[in-house]
Structure 1
Amino acid sequence: MSEYPRFGAGLWHFASYLDRYATDGYAPPVSTIEQIARAGAVGDLSVVDVPYPFTEGVTVEDVKAALAEHGLEAIGVTPEIYMRRFSKGAFTNPDAAVRAEALAFLNEAADVVRALGAKYLKVWPGQDGWDYPFQVNHHDQWELAVSGMRELAQANADLKIVIEYKPREPRNKMFWDSAAKTALGIKAMGVDNVGVLLDFGHALYGGESPAAAAQLLIDHGLLWGMDVNDNLRGWDDDMVVGTVHPVEVFEFFYTLKINNWEGVWQLDQFPFREDTVEAAKLSIRFLKGLHRALEEMDMDALREAQARQDAMGAQKLVQDVLFSCLRDEP
């Protein structure tokens, strides 16, 4: 069997959380440095996506030292452009001064990407969008979102920038809401350093087939990163990968394999009430079993079944290999 891929995780996986009910949080606050230590305790992680700004008092040098201490690298930096000051949007805010503030902050985060030697700047503009019919002019939103990303890309031509799309939350409707719209927006930018980070759960609860979304982005040369997790399809639950939709997760990774896509298999999960390190370990256990299943899958037989659109034949092949390989994982 070939070597396992590199595994990664968003550093937020190891933080503590609150919601509109448990407003005091589900655990004491966890600093950026403590999150890195927890990520290092997983054992199979090699990279992390680092939110910016760091927790209070933590510097870039502190983060570099902590990553080195725990044998980790930064794959990306995710600037928090979805907080209160950007509640009406970052790129699409109606106030030009706020849009300028967002761009300045993103450029600052780009410098952190350089300082950490990360692979990309990840843009998740969760507040860009709308909540009610007639709230926005959709033509103007398109122009602001696309031109803002273009300006960011041109100001940081030496870096890769990835957009993580999502159908909704925190806005009732996010601007970058699907693989197709994000691909169209990137094409309209006319730059070559912007791609897509596909979050499996976002595609799933947005009504997409994650595998089909991945294929679309690969065909257009835009799948530059991915996150995996799981959900109950009605919300971005960010559950442990494979706990709800193991077959669709398998199809997603099958699509990556047949297209020779090589990249980090990265977790984007929020274990609110669970031990964060154990949740990551269980996720990677599943991913290792899935990797073995991909190695053992009879690809020719599956292609023949697909050529006939033989749903039952394809399902039998998938079930036989996927669930037997998972049983072999310790």
Structure 2
Amino acid sequence: MSKLTFGAGIWHFATYVDRYATDGYGPAKSLIEMIDLAGQVRDLSVVDINAPWSSDVSVEAVEQALARNNLSVIGITPEIYTRQFAKGAFTNPDAGVRRAANELCNDAANLVRRLGASYVKLWPGQDGWDYPFQVDHRTQWRRSIEGIAELASQNPDLKFVIEYKPREPRVHMSYSSVARTLLGIEAMGLPNVGILLDFGHALFGGESPADSAQLAIDHGRLFGMDVNDNLRSWDDDMVAGTVHPIELFEFFYTLRKNNWEGVWQLDQFPFREDCVEAADMAIDFLKHIDAALDRLDFAEMQDAQDRHDALTAQKLARKALFGV
């Protein structure tokens, strides 16, 4: 049995649409159906759930579905990126829309308490800008900081995690990098705001995910993480380890070296693949990474890194991960 805890965003089990297949890549699924699919994944024990969900599904029904599938909730992700917030959630020029975003996030906070989750996950995908001269950058950044700081101050008993991303849906997102997000969090000056580091977003942003993790850890702000994969030019949300296995190994090496403990969580979008099989495949590889970390000689790796010996470091990593 693995000593690790594995999780997934409940959207992993959804039906997807894009701007071409507007009719979706399969029949629509309810939240309850998605939870039941998550329950079929080997070793999966926690999920992140979007809110609000359909009004015809009660909280009690969600609790019952979670219980029968032996699942718990790690986070609630308020949908502050929908059409209502097309010009931004925390940065919207309309004060009434900013207030609506705050209320939606406070509703999510109440769900976190009700379901015994760990945090409210904030992905302010519409906060940002698209064109030169579109926004006043000082005002935009100030509202980004103040909006989340207000939430965290209203709910000092809960954690709030910011999932940064370079772009999409906005051309420039306010929280676009690990460094910019840390700057914003430090300006808030609150202990209950941290980062959820998405491995694929770091790749997409031209970052080294291991370096990003170390930076967030050094500031005491790595509250959570998601893993997936992509081709670096877009947030493809592919199965973890299928494209960048060695960088994924370095990412988890960094977490192990720093004694970071938390859920190993999937943020994948299997548009055309079987969602249960895609989750099982990813978790199997994550378990392989964990075993490879047990095999890796950390002292030898540190010695190679102290000498900036790239080839020795690569040989050590490849032998532990691939056996060659």
TM-score, length-normalised on structure 1? 0.97
Return the offset for 1:190.
Answer: 1.7
Query: Which residue of the partner structure matches residue 212 of structure 1?
Result: 211
Match runs of 1:199-278 below 5 Å:
199-278=198-277
Q: Does 1:171 align with 2:170?
A: yes
Q: Distance in 2 between matches of 1:18 and 1:56?
A: 21
Query: Which residue of the partner structure matches residue 115 of structure 2?
Result: 116
Return the offset for 1:300.
Answer: 1.1
Q: Distance in 2 between matches of 1:89 and 1:3?
A: 41
Query: Which residue of the partner structure matches residue 197 of structure 2?
Result: 198
- The DSSP-based 3-state class of the residue aligned with 2:39 is helix
Q: Distance in 2 between matches of 1:298 and 1:146?
A: 42
Deviations 1:255-278 (A, max 9, x none): 000000000000000000000000
Q: Does 1:39 align with 2:43?
A: no
Deviations 1:70-98 (A, max 9, x none): 00000000011000010000000011111
Return the offset for 1:43.
Answer: 2.0
Contact 2:2 2:287 (8 Å CA) reproduced: no
Return the offset for 1:156.
Answer: 0.9
Query: Which residue of the partner structure matches residue 155 of structure 1?
Result: 154
Q: Distance in 2 between matches of 1:217 and 1:74?
A: 24
- The DSSP-based 3-state class of the residue aligned with 1:122 is strand
Contact 1:200 1:210 (8 Å CA) reproduced: yes
Return the offset for 1:134.
Answer: 0.9
- The DSSP-based 3-state class of the residue aligned with 2:40 is helix
Contact 1:14 1:35 (8 Å CA) reproduced: yes
Q: Does 1:87 align with 2:86?
A: yes
Return the offset for 1:191.
Answer: 1.2
The gaps in structure 1 that reach 5 residues or longer are 326-330
Contact 1:199 1:227 (8 Å CA) reproduced: yes
Contact 1:4 1:288 (8 Å CA) reproduced: no
Kindly provide the amino acid, as one letter, of the partner of residue 196 in structure 2.
L
Q: Distance in 2 between matches of 1:181 and 1:321?
A: 34
Contact 1:4 1:291 (8 Å CA) reproduced: no
Kindly provide the amino acid, as one letter, of the partner of residue 264 in structure 1.
V
Return the offset for 1:146.
Answer: 0.5
Q: Does 1:137 align with 2:145?
A: no
Kindly provide the amino acid, as one letter, of the partner of residue 288 in structure 2.
G
Query: Which residue of the partner structure matches residue 328 of structure 1?
Result: none
Kindly provide the amino acid, as one letter, of the partner of residue 179 in structure 1.
V
Q: Distance in 1 between matches of 2:268 and 2:314?
A: 27
The gaps in structure 2 that reach 5 residues or longer are none
Return the offset for 1:55.
Answer: 3.0
Q: Distance in 2 between matches of 1:208 and 1:184?
A: 16
Q: Report the number of matched residues.
A: 324
Identity of aligned residues (%): 64
Return the offset for 1:3.
Answer: 4.2
- The DSSP-based 3-state class of the residue aligned with 1:187 is helix
Deviations 1:25-69 (A, max 9, x none): 000111100111111100210100011112341111111111111
Contact 1:162 1:195 (8 Å CA) reproduced: yes
Query: Which residue of the partner structure matches residue 279 of structure 2?
Result: 280
Q: Does 1:321 align with 2:320?
A: yes
Supply the RMSD in Å over aligned alpha carbons: 1.1
- The DSSP-based 3-state class of the residue aligned with 1:263 is coil
Kindly provide the amino acid, as one letter, of the partner of residue 207 in structure 1.
G
Deviations 1:199-248 (A, max 9, x none): 00000110111000000000000000000000000000000000000000
Return the offset for 1:5.
Answer: 0.9
Deviations 1:128-147 (A, max 9, x none): 00011111111001110101
Q: Distance in 2 between matches of 1:261 and 1:156?
A: 25
Q: Distance in 2 between matches of 1:26 and 1:48?
A: 22
